Amino acid sequence: MFSKLVIVVVVIVVAATTTAAPQQYRPIPPPYQSSGRFIPILVDEREGPDALGNYRFNFETGNGIRRDEQGAPRGPKGAVVSQGGWSFTFPDGTPAVFSFVADEGGYRVESPLLPTPPPLPPHAIAQIEKARRESGGRPSYQ
């Protein structure tokens, strides 16, 4: 009796999976489709990197976006030092201009749009100076 039940269940499962309606083919739209307007590339200049590691690029789009960068190996280990910037205009018409330097001091960006911390209060500056005098100018972790 149990084997008949198993056979009936298997037949039902097979019948249900083979008689299912075929799936309709619907092409998936590519992710690069855009409903926005076409923005042309006005300038696209690229050089390198050459055998020494020097490079330079510059581009500008039809909606006012600009980006430029140049870099070259520097120092005893040949680390690439680069500098450049970018600019664009916010929808409200505000211009955004950024410049950067990447060297042994790290990556530093400058722009009037970047937030700056408030100045330290006088008592904090006094504490820092006191600690510096007491440590003889040495960092506190030594």
CB 69 within 8 Å of CB 82 = yes
Match 């075929």 to its residue by tokens: 22
Residue 73 has pLDDT above 80, yes or no: yes
On the question of pLDDT at 126 being above 60, the answer is yes
- Predicted pLDDT of residue 29: 65
> Which residues share a beta bridge with 45?
58
Domain residue spans of the chain: 41-116
Confidence of residue 44 (pLDDT cuts 50, 70, 90): very high
Closest by Cα among 86, 81, 93 to 110: 86
Percent of the chain with pLDDT over 90: 45
Q: What is the pLDDT of residue 6?
A: 61
pTM score, whole prediction: 0.58
CA distance 106 to 16: 64
80 neighbors 53 (Cβ within 8 angstroms): yes
Q: Rounded mean pLDDT of the chain?
A: 83
More confident of the two residues 16 and 101? 101
Read off the pLDDT band of 16 (50, 70, 90): low
Name the nearest CA neighbour of 61 among 39, 85, 90, 35: 39
Please determine, for residue 92, whether its predicted confidence score (pLDDT) is greater than 50. yes
Tokens for 116? 């700056």
Query: For residue 71, how many other CB atoms are within 10 A of its CB?
Result: 20
The token duo for 90 is 């916010």
Under 8 Å between Cβ of 113 and 96: yes
User: Looking at residue 38, what is its pLDDT?
Assistant: 86
Q: Check residue 22 and give its pLDDT.
A: 59
